[in-house]
Structures are given as structure tokens and as C-alpha cells.
């Protein structure tokens, strides 16, 4: 092979890798989208409602978590943040792992210049079970994500840095495609 054909071969190889990565991101985005908009009646908007309390009120009108004290506390922290992770703990070992995963994710997000914060709701807090019931969360630990765009997500089960970063990228968008009334047609 001459140098030109080797260069063409390498370019084609990178294109294939790029297309594969794009496909995987699209699949991950679709999965994250289903987590963000898991109820047909959920309306995520990007208007002036940019605090977790306002988002909770908009997103969960039928369940209403906006009046809970922890949401109000997070709303105060959210004034200076673009993105908040809220950890609902499970067993000590699982929660420790999730704490480390969230910390690593936050470090990467902060590397982009974003202001990110984390809040852990104590399992002994009386509002912990109320939150779990209203958001239909049955598996702990769970991470709730709130973005200044007015969007949010719930990650339960196997919580990885990749899933958290994918959810971060999805909920920071001002408009999530397919959401009724949000995006221009």
C-alpha cells in the first residue's frame, strides 16, 4: 500500500468509529429521553421556571413535590448553579459508590466551566419516602438531576458516570425533541 491509500484507509476507519459513536449516543439519548419524559402527561418547559421547586411543580403537577422542604433547600442552592444532582441513598456500600460516581461526573462537568452542585437527601428524612412514593421510585440509590433549562431526569438502578453524563447532556437542552409544546415544529 502506498501512503495515500493508507491515509484513505485511516480516514475511513475514523469515519466508521465516528458514525458508530454517533449511533450509540443517539441510542443513549433515546433511553435518557424516556427517563426524562416517562409519563405522557409530563410537560418539561424552558420558560421562567428554572428552580427545582418550579420544575417539580411543572413536571409533577399530579404528584406535587414542590412543597417539600428538601426541594425548597435545593432551590436555594440552585440559584448559583446550572445543574444539581440530588442523591436519594440506598445501602451504605451502594450509596458510597454512587457518591464517588457523582463526584467524578461533577469534576468532568465542571471542566467545561459549568456550575454544578450536589445534595443528598437523608434516608431518615420523613420527606424521603414521600418523594419516593410521588416519583414512583422503588430502587435505591437514585439520582435526580435538575438543570437550569427547566428539565430533569431520574437515574435508578445501575448508576454509572456514562449514564449521568448522558442525562446531563440531555436535560441541559432548552428543548427536548418530541416534547409537546416545547420545540418548534
Position 1 confidence tier, pLDDT thresholds 50, 70, 90: low
pLDDT(87) > 80: yes
Better-predicted residue by pLDDT, 30 or 119: 119
Among 30-39, 44-53, 146-155, which stretch is predicted with the lowest mean pLDDT?
44-53
- CATH topology for 3-171 is Glutaredoxin (3.40.30)
Going by C-alpha positions, the residue among 115, 94, 95 that lies closest to residue 106 is: 115
Cell of 164: 449521568
pLDDT computed for residue 148 by the predictor: 77
What confidence score (pLDDT) does residue 52 get? 53
Total H helices, total E strands in the chain:
6, 4
Task: State the cell numbers at 90.
Answer: 440506598
pLDDT score of 168 more than 80: yes
- How confident is the model over 104-154, as pLDDT tens digits? 999 999 988 889 999 999 999 999 999 999 889 999 999 999 887 778 899
Phi-psi region of 178 (alpha: psi -120 to 50; beta: other; left: phi over 0): left
- Residue 44 pLDDT > 50: no
pLDDT at residue 96 above 70?
yes
Peptide bond into 16 cis (omega under 30): no
**Average confidence (pLDDT) over 25-44:** 51
- Please say whether the beta carbons of 137 and 143 come within 8 A: no
Q: What is the mean pLDDT of residues 48-77?
A: 62
What is the reported pLDDT for 20?
Answer: 63
Q: Is 137 helix (H, G, I), strand (E, B) or coil?
A: coil
Per-residue pLDDT at 185 exceeds 50 = no
pLDDT the model gives residue 125? 93
Amino acid at each position: 500500500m502506498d501512503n495515500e491509500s493508507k491515509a484513505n484507509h485511516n480516514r475511513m476507519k475514523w469515519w466508521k468509529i465516528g458514525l458508530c459513536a454517533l449511533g450509540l449516543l443517539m441510542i443513549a439519548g433515546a433511553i435518557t429521553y424516556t427517563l426524562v419524559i416517562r409519563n405522557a402527561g409530563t410537560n418539561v418547559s424552558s420558560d421562567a421556571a428554572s428552580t427545582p421547586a418550579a420544575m417539580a411543580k411543572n413536571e409533577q403537577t399530579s404528584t406535587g413535590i414542590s412543597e417539600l422542604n428538601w426541594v425548597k433547600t435545593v432551590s436555594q442552592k440552585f440559584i448559583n448553579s446550572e445543574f444539581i444532582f440530588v442523591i436519594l441513598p440506598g445501602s451504605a456500600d451502594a450509596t458510597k459508590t454512587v457518591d464517588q460516581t457523582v463526584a467524578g461526573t461533577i469534576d468532568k462537568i465542571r471542566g467545561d466551566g459549568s456550575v454544578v452542585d450536589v445534595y443528598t437527601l437523608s434516608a431518615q428524612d420523613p420527606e424521603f419516602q414521600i418523594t419516593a412514593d410521588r416519583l414512583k421510585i422503588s430502587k435505591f440509590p437514585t439520582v435526580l438531576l435538575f438543570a437550569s433549562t427547566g428539565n430533569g431526569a431520574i437515574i435508578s438502578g445501575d448508576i454509572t458516570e456514562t449514564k449521568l453524563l448522558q442525562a446531563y447532556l440531555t436535560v441541559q437542552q432548552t428543548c427536548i425533541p418530541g416534547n409537546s409544546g416545547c420545540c418548534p415544529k
